[in-house]
Structure 1
Amino acid sequence: MTSARSFWINAAVVLMKPVLQSICNEEFKTAFPSPDARNEQRDSVAHYEALAKGLHGIAPWLELQEDAEAIEMAQLARRAIDLATDLKSSQFMTLTGVGAASKHPLVDSAFLAYAMLRAPTQLWAKLDSRVKANVIYSFNMTRPITPFQNNWVLFASMVEAFFFVNGIQPDEDRLLKGLQLHRQWYLGDGWWGDGPEYVHNYYNSYVTQPMIYDILDALQKSKLGLSLQNMFPNRDMKGVMELNTLIRKAIPRSAAHLETLVAPDGSFPVVGRSITCRAGAFHILSLAALKHILPRNLPIGQARTALTRAINRTLDHRAYDKNGWLRIGVIGTQPKLAQNYVNQGSLYVVSAVFLPLGLSANDPFWTEPELPTTWERVWDLKGEILAEHSGAV
């Protein structure tokens, strides 16, 4: 095993094992910190959020089952899902948020569904029928929730895509609306609005582009040989099919853009809301690596170098308290960087950076030599770099 992969595995275990182990020990709901009284309502959903968002990034690694750590973590994850969705369990995680967080179970159910789509054997097929029924009940409870008219519409689409892929009757309106709206919200050059307007933040990477890509990918893989139109013969799928074309061009371009932001010390621009997602800002880059769709002008070894540095910078020892829980911040403790909707569980969306662990140890992502990043090539004169051409998508 390469030293880089060992480093990534250790970082993923440090991030998520305390969450999973604590749930399995039936201690999580009392042990998980609630650091800020302003978030009392948000804290009502923090437990579900930590589990779901944490699993969505490590799910491909759990599915691979190539490492002893992944085998153990998958076992813990299944037990945690059982306890989290069992109404009689002390670790049952709320399906009805409180006050300002009343809609939030939709978000968390979407991320758990996302994890299950990414690890269909380890996080879904291996659950017994009782647990599956509890999960389905939990997801069904989100259907009355009307999402905000921004990236949230994809959360409803994700839950319904999970149902569709697993042979459970979806709500086609909820499934397709989020996709249709995002065809309308495409702004050009590989960027989507967060709603109809452009917003300068990392949400294209946190949520929008990865969810569009993976929802459409899951639908098409579940019905091989069928076009999107034939999957939904009574619907006008023109916009969704156009979105499918756009996202497949946008992901590689956005991945290349994100790589250029990483400095040699692993720092990157602190821009926009939810920046306490740390290296989760590089979700698109990690997804492109996992799916082998990095652009030609971004060598694999260069992408790995950038991601490794971002992990090292944002998830070093300063990121955790003495009990192993993530602190609010980009590095260390920086609570004032968090918006009022951010709770302790929100931070675990950083797991998205670990998607390439779903690639085998002999994949070129791990075996290709380390290469200088774009930042180094330009500012340290460590190699040639080609001019960028906008309007490519």
Structure 2
Amino acid sequence: MGEDKIDSASPFYPGSGDQPGNLISHVILKGDNYLAWSRAITLSLKSRRKFGFVDGTINKPAEKKKLLDWETVNSMLVSWVLRAIEPKIAASIPYFEEVKKLWDYLEKRFCESSGPRLQQLRAAITNCKQTKAMSIEEYYTTLMGYYGDLLRLKPPHGCECGKCECDVAAKIELDREEEKLHQFWVGIDDDKYSVVRTNLLSQQPPTSLERAYQALLQEERSRNIAQSKSQTEDAHVFALLLDRKSVQSSHRVDKSKLYCTHCKRSGHENSGCFMLHGYPDWWLEKYGKKGGGPSAARPSSSAPAATLSAASASASTAAAPRHAATDHGKAVVRAIAVGGVSSSPSPDTLSALSDLQPEHIKNSVEYGHQPPTG
């Protein structure tokens, strides 16, 4: 029994979480994302020591005893690969018993290393720009994804003889990293990060791609903090303005409900009556002399005052005994004469107006308009 036990370090050893229906990758093959999908599947299988079944390093054994273990792991890997493919694409894939044959078929079908595909990737790298709505991290991830696909389709050449002593492969890799760095600078948002780019490009020795990426991330965070603070201050000012407007509207008085018991007019109260307290300076500046404003603010209009004045003068000079001026008539004449001098009535005018009765005005008007006799 001890000889049949599989070592935990062996690729044939099934882990506690290894089940045929497991989803071993968060990336699902949809057709145009084969390179990203194959990288994710490769990393997942290597972490479980089972990628040798896919690349052919672990071949199908001839021994019956080992064949059963191989078939068990192989069938589980076929299930994992199909589980990580979109159902519509998985339904179109022919049946393969070996995971290596399935892997080779998928690579031939979706991994195109043709000229148009390479041209498409190079154009995507050239046109990759950071938009206003794109963060530094999103822009960096997109650009590096294009470079990763290009590297997978067209890997760089290195020394194959093993006799090179100048380390040309490392120099080629440095050139590729420098190309990535400059392409990264070309695509960033100039309105936001041109100053940072100028400072880093002027450094000696030249900065690396990772250092440039970290510097732009810090600048982006600083801008976001400043923008958030500015938006918070604007919101506070706007709320304060709304509060002031609400307070002003709540303290606003409806003048249509006000009434003055002194001048018997609406629109103000006794405390704000000009006839009672005198006319302010702004009234003189706006309407000229006192009493020159709107008729609603004056105690009486000029036309009725002139009519009553003329009627009173006629009454005082007429000789008809039946329309002789009485004491009340004199009071009317005195009140009109005094009131016509100033728009601010004196105590004598108010006293005379208090004794005025409707019949006095009627008699004065009738007497003033009576046609002359003889």
Normalised-by-shorter TM-score class: under 0.3
TM-score scaled by length of structure 1: 0.26
TM-score scaled by length of structure 2: 0.27
Structure ranking higher on relative contact order (CA contacts 8 Å, 6+ apart): 1
